[in-house]
Amino acid sequence: MNVDNLITDQRLHSILQTSHQACDQAHALVDLIDQNTSDTLSATQKAEISKQQSLLLATVAQLRGLNRHANLAARDTKAVTLEARQTVDKLHLQLQNLYYEQNHLQDEIAACESYDHKYRQLPLMPVDEFLAQYPDQATDDENALLFARIDHERVERETLENQRQELLKRKQKLIADNKRRKEDLANLDNDLEKFIDAAKPIQKLFEKEA
């Protein structure tokens, strides 16, 4: 494949064309010198050789200028490429961090979904019974419905706890009343025994008279 077809940069094309031109001029100058190998050259021959030399030097100077500009452009391109590469590396690192964060969040979500939370163990009212009792909750999504059932369970438990506390108070009162009555009965027994003991002399007196 021709080298000219591989180069797409216009500056490099100009360098390559100027290089070909300088090469052709150098060959022409060599051929001209080879054709005039005599010791004595005419003024016309010397003028032609001098002309070809001047053309070659001008072309070489132009080639040097183009090469210098190409080097500066390559340096600038390299700097731009380096900056772009650093930007790409930074974005790639950010992308890797996002992938890592995504995987971490997915693991956290999976852990939360598989976590055996205590609310799963609550004896909540079945959904169909709850909706039958509270039809206004039928349009709620799954989470809202779950929160409503948990709140219903909380209210029910608070109500039962209040009833238990009331029953406990009544029980304590009944225990206290029962204890007081037992004490009253014990005191009554003591009084009765004292009365019987006090009545024994009178009973003996009646027995003697009989």
Residues 71-123 have pLDDT tens digits of: 888 888 899 999 999 999 999 999 999 999 999 999 999 888 787 767 667 77
Query: In terms of Cα–Cα distance, which of 4, 29, 14 is closest to 64?
Result: 14
Of the pLDDT bands very low, low, confident and very high (cuts 50, 70, 90), residue 52 is confident
Q: What are phi and psi of 36, to 5 degrees?
A: -125, 70
Single-letter amino acid code for the residue at 69: H
Q: Output the pTM of the full model.
A: 0.39
**Most confident region among 6-15, 137-146, 153-162, 181-190 by mean pLDDT:** 153-162
Of the pLDDT bands very low, low, confident and very high (cuts 50, 70, 90), residue 8 is low
Q: Given a cut of 90, is residue 29 above it in pLDDT?
A: no
Which stretch of DSSP H or E encloses residue 189? helix 142-209
Contacts of 15 (CB under 8 A, 6+ apart): 63, 66, 67, 70
**Most confident region among 64-68, 120-124, 125-129, 166-170 by mean pLDDT:** 166-170
Are 164 and 175 in contact by the 8 Å Cβ rule? The answer is: no
Enter the tokens of residue 156: 């029910």
Contacts of 124 (CB under 8 A, 6+ apart): 130, 149, 150, 152, 153
Residue-level pLDDT at 86: 94
Q: How does pLDDT run across 173-194, given as a tens digit for each residue?
A: 999 888 888 888 888 878 788 8
Contacts of 62 (CB under 8 A, 6+ apart): 18
Alpha carbon dihedral 149, 151, 155, 157, in 10-degree steps, equals 70
Average pLDDT over residues 138-149: 86
Residue-level pLDDT at 173: 92
Residue-level pLDDT at 106: 94
